[in-house]
Amino acid sequence: MSIDRVDLNLLVYLDALLKERNVTKAAHQLGLSQPAMSNGLRRLREVFEDPLLIRTSDGMTPTERALGLQSTIREVLATIDKAIQPQAAFDALTSTRVFRIMASDYSEPTLIPPLVERLRQEAPGISLDIMTPSDVDFYDVEQGKVDLVINRFDSMPQSFHQKILWRDQFICLMNRNNPMAEDFTLESYLKAHHIWVNKTGMGAGVGMNPKDVQRRGWVDDALAELGKTRNIRVFTRHYQAAIQLANQKDLIVTLPRKATLQTMNNNDLVMLDPPFPIPEMTLTMAWSPLLQHNPAHRWIRGLITEVAREIDEA
């Protein structure tokens, strides 16, 4: 007989019968009527093709087949009981779990350092494996091989869960001695030499061309709305490299404000509002539905949300 045709409640009945060796007592233990337990015993005999319990002068005596089943039945029921119990609470203080997080070059220097600081205080045994967008694809995330992806996404599988961590405004960063710093207009902006910094998405990157305006992203899309283009001299996927290049006196980079947090004490750089409107960018955290209810995963998502809120409110 196939297991899909067997009522697994019968295993509970058999366990009680083998413990009590009495139909009435077994029924009382399970909160059943005596006729219901008798009917259960009849069905058990059909399943196992064995009498299982036989009435003797000593009461209901298990057959050899029943005695052979007893330990197996108890192991199966114990396993099922363990499986259906609520998951144990996650103890961050003693955990040694590794969380694999894909963080964009924008989010890594802004979000990860304060996150690590909190982890050292609250969960010193936890490790982070920080990946770049080129290391990961959506299949890895869907399968739960990567715990979280933190980036700005143009599109995402509908099954993914996601949470907005913050929204950021764009600013222009340049050397204090850049002539444009004293005459910052849309006209001077368009004449300047620019550093493009962006990422085309998850997976392997694609090369850029100064004449290609189709995949440039937020800043150039905003300029296109005005019928304008800018003069790009350097394409990079790394915000920190772009900030370093902005130290040169004839280059300018337009990037999200929070990417410049580490430059606040650099007196050689000035930060100015763009001379045209650029829609704000959104930093999003996303994860697989397979991990939605995992206690450890819920904990790390909550911690990241707290850290992001503190950064956003600073």
180 and 264 housed in the same domain: yes
pLDDT at 139 exceeding the cut of 70: yes
Residue 92 lies in a domain: no
Give the pLDDT confidence score for residue 207 in this predicted structure: 56
Q: Average pLDDT over the chain, rounded to whole?
A: 87
Residue 33's CB is within 10 A of a number of other CB atoms, namely 11
- At residue 209 the predicted structure's pLDDT band, cuts being 50, 70 and 90, is low
Same-domain check for residues 156 and 300: yes
Provide the pLDDT for residue 215: 56
* pTM as predicted: 0.71
For residue 77, give the CATH number of its domain. Answer: 1.10.10.10
- For the segment 16-33, the average pLDDT, to the nearest whole number, is 88
**Domain for residue 302, yes or no?**
yes
| pLDDT bracket for residue 168 (50, 70, 90) | very high
Distance from C-alpha of 97 to C-alpha of 127, rounded to nearest angstrom: 6
For residue 126, tell me if it sits in a domain: yes
64 is in which domain, residue-wise?
A: 3-82
Q: What ranges in 104-161 are assigned the alpha helix state H?
A: 107-122, 138-142
pLDDT band at residue 40 using 50, 70 and 90 as cut-offs = confident
What are the residues facing 235 on neighbouring strands?
Answer: 196
How high is the pLDDT of residue 230?
A: 92
Alpha carbon distance 285, 298 (integer Å): 13
Residue with the larger pLDDT of the pair 43 and 82: 43
| Nearest to 275, CA basis, from 197, 194, 189 | 189
pLDDT > 60? residue 104: yes
Q: Averaged over 249-266, what is the pLDDT? A: 86
Whether 203 and 151 map to the same domain: the answer is no
